[in-house]
Copies of this chain bind each other. A is one copy, B any other.
């Protein structure tokens, strides 16, 4: 029940938030309206979004009240990210903004700075951003508010993530695909997501599907997703306050009741019907009803700036003045510019303020993982190329131990492919999470499971983001080609981390670890659509401070890299390796040393004996590494005096100049590997252009001749794939001879032999490719 005193508090807080929101959009001075508005108070350019803001503040005000009464820990995720001014106003009113940005405190000067900095060059964006206290969600690219919310509450039993879904965002595919989070949320162990579907009717310039559907259909849709639907509609005051307070209390009680049942042992295991609130308020609520004779409230015209021409338009200026004064600012702020006691009382104390929640600054809560000793998982490698095994299977065993040692803070996210990717050992430690019906024949599937499998890269990626931004650790494992499905999420998360770097108050969070497997080079029955190493191309464009790409060539390198990634903070780590049986090259000790350097000469594979070689064969990526070692082997057998150096690159960013990336090798280290002027034949896992751009600026970069994936593929063997893409051992031998500093005696015979091998392969492909030795048993044939 909302009594009158509390109603006064909530309403005052809401009016204050709305007042400051309008102020941010319009004013450069006179922020507290202590004197009549003049043209000079108006910003030269009006940029910002009013439409969604009053609804966001309304929900915020009531959530704060609920927190005051219940002590509930809650974070607020703003799907309509363009309601930035509302959330900035909220954190300023709660005092958090001034605590973080002392020059923008709760006084007249702070209020002035607050409105000036909004949507101004050198200031803050018009949407919720990394700079907004209390946010783990930007809402710039729409669609992810629910996946972030679900990720945030996993293993956070006492947390509720209140997630406002705008009706524009609700049209996006990622959002529509994320309602099903409740099918994976365990009420005993996880917290709760309370979605508020805020239907205000319009997006930028037209209506939305959900706002124009019959309400019964919307209700049915959400019920079909498994929710218990609560609805509040209107714009009447104080009626809306009373009704929304009631519904919010009902939703909270529903959540608590579900959780208490589950935690007291009286849960029958049926997936709960979690509450969702459908809130219908007019777009631009409390703003100008009409402007220049055209209706604005409740239409797309209130999306951004309802009064567009204030400067030089006395009528608009007067309307803005009336609008601002309609919130009765004189009741809300002291003469010194601080919110009055009534407003202050509307906010919960300390860390219960949603803008001050440590869950929304997850680095504060991050605890290191307990990681197993790598030596317990090392693969025995008596000599290079003598052992074959599925490298990712060893990673699965490592992750099993990580699960065991960290039952409250590590999860693996994978679209239905944990076993396919050879990571199935984790199921010894944890089942898959699943809250829908479990049947007797199911394997490794239960309510208690904490391995997250859902056939949606968007869900997996977004859950992991929410999980790490709230301070926990994880890994997203996916088929390489389909990592592009969530590439925009990878990039947006990278941008979040890039922006957070500049903010001392944001503590570093666990990294976003992405394992790409089932790669382009070995896809068996899958065809061309499954062959695309494109995500590398995208991650290398992000800032060096956060982007990392690792191409471990074998199991011991993979474990070393994984260990490093799991210890790291605030990075985006790509790890690329295939899942099929593959030759092993390095012992664990060698792998640790090799990965620490990022790249190194494999002396045993070459014959340059640390002298200047005739050619350098370099490689990054498992399949092409095998081809490179095989090429060196062929060259050594045929032309023993021809000096070949083999360089393997694990940490791709080591190739860049130190000024472009912190992992970039110093010039001297680079020359030690690649010399200053000898030609380099570089076999690369991804698109060749990636190497060309990374070595730009290195001495004589033109000498890097790169072979890689050039968009040739189909259902075929790895050997046929390297032939199709001209990156086979034979192509590398030919490249080496054609680019070497001298043409050794016997080169033409070897060239002819290579041509012949390739011609033979082409013939085999026609009818019985599987009978060709390189294909049937592609172990390296050593002399």
For the complex, is A125 an interface residue (Cβ under 8 Å from B)? yes
The answer, among B204, B416, B542, B700, for a CB contact under 8 Å with A206, is B416
Quick check: is A352 within 8 A (CB to CB) of the other chain? no
Q: How far does the Cβ of A570 sit from chain B's closest Cβ, in whole Å? A: 15
Min CB distance A611 to B, Å, is 26
Is A648 interfacial (CB-CB < 8 Å)?
no
Query: How would residues 583 to 606 of chain A score, 1 for a CB under 8 Å from any chain B CB and 0 otherwise?
Result: 000000000000000000000000
Judge if A172 is at the interface, Cβ distance under 8 Å. Answer: yes
Interface centre among A223, A541, A543 (most CB of B within 10 A): A541
Q: Are B122 and A529 in contact (CB under 8 A)?
A: no
Shortest beta-carbon distance from A127 to chain B in Å: 7
Across-interface contacts of A47 in B (CB, < 8 A): 524-525, 715
Interface size class of A (residues with CB under 8 A): 35 or more
**Is A455 in contact with B543, judged by CB distance below 8 angstroms?**
no
Known: A121-B715, A224-B218, A491-B534. A209 touches B176 (CB 8 A): no
Residues from chain B with Cβ under 8 Å of A218 in the complex:
224
A213 within 8 A of B: yes
* Contact of A482 with B141 in the complex, beta carbons under 8 Å: yes
- Residues of B near A432 (CB, < 8 A) are 206
A283 interfacial contact with B, CB 8 Å: no
Which residue of chain B is the closest to A126 with respect to CB atoms?
B525
Is A121 a contact of B436 with CB atoms below 8 Å? no
Q: Is the CB of B416 within 8 A of A205?
A: yes
Nearest CB in chain B: distance from A576 CB, A: 16
Within 8 A of B (CB), among A41-66: 44-45, 47-49
Return the chain B residue nearest A218 by Cβ: B224
Q: Is B442 within 8 A of A207, CB to CB?
A: yes
Q: Is A426 an interface residue (CB 8 A)?
A: no
Q: How far is the CA of A443 from the CA of B301 in the complex (A)?
A: 11
Kindly state the separation between the CA atoms of A714 and B121 in the bound complex, as whole angstroms.
8
The distance from the CB of A459 to the nearest CB of chain B, in whole angstroms, is 7
Residues of chain B with a CB closer than 8 A to A168's CB: 416, 455
A766 to B123, CA, bound (A): 9
| Bound CA–CA A716/B439 (angstroms) | 56
Return the contact of A540 from the options B205, B417, B438, B689 (Cβ within 8 A).
B689
Is A177 a contact of B180 with CB atoms below 8 Å? no
A124 at the interface (CB under 8 A from B): yes
Partner-contacting stretch, out of A190-198, A379-387, A690-698: A690-698
> Which residues of A121-140 are within 8 A (CB) of B?
121-127, 129, 138, 140
Q: What 1/0 flags go to A417-444 for Cβ under 8 Å of B?
A: 1111000000000001010111101111
Residues of B within 8 A of A696 (CB): 689, 692, 702
The residue from B441, B442, B529 contacting A127, defined by CB atoms under 8 A apart? B529
A179–B176 alpha-carbon span in the complex (Å):
10
The answer for the CA separation of A529 and B82 in the assembled complex, in Å, is: 12
Do the beta carbons of B226 and A217 come within 8 Å of each other? yes
Chain B residue nearest in CB terms to A695: B692
Contact B124 A715 (CB under 8 A): yes
Residue of B whose beta carbon sits closest to that of A305 = B525
- The smallest beta-carbon distance between A235 and chain B, in angstroms, is 16
Which residues of A from 220 to 240 have beta carbons under 8 Å from B?
220-226
A487 at the interface (CB under 8 A from B): yes
A-B contact pairs, 20 of them (CB 8 A): A45-B770, A48-B525, A120-B715, A121-B715, A125-B714, A127-B527, A129-B527, A172-B177, A173-B177, A173-B456, A174-B485, A205-B418, A207-B436, A207-B439, A213-B437, A220-B221, A220-B223, A220-B224, A540-B689, A689-B694
| Interface residues in chain A, defined as those with a beta carbon under 8 Å from any beta carbon in chain B | 44-45, 47-49, 81, 119-127, 129, 138, 140-143, 168-169, 171-180, 183, 203-209, 212-214, 217-226, 295, 299, 416-420, 432, 434, 436-439, 441-445, 453-459, 481-482, 484-485, 487-488, 491-492, 495, 498-499, 524-530, 532, 534, 537-538, 540-543, 687-690, 692-694, 696-697, 700-702, 710-711, 714-717, 720, 765-766, 769-770, 775
- Give 5 nearest A-B pairs by CB, closest first: A140-B529, A221-B224, A173-B177, A125-B527, A689-B693
Give 7 new A-B contacts, CB below 8 A, not counting A180-B209, A537-B537, A688-B693.
Answer: A207-B439, A209-B436, A213-B436, A220-B220, A295-B441, A491-B532, A495-B532
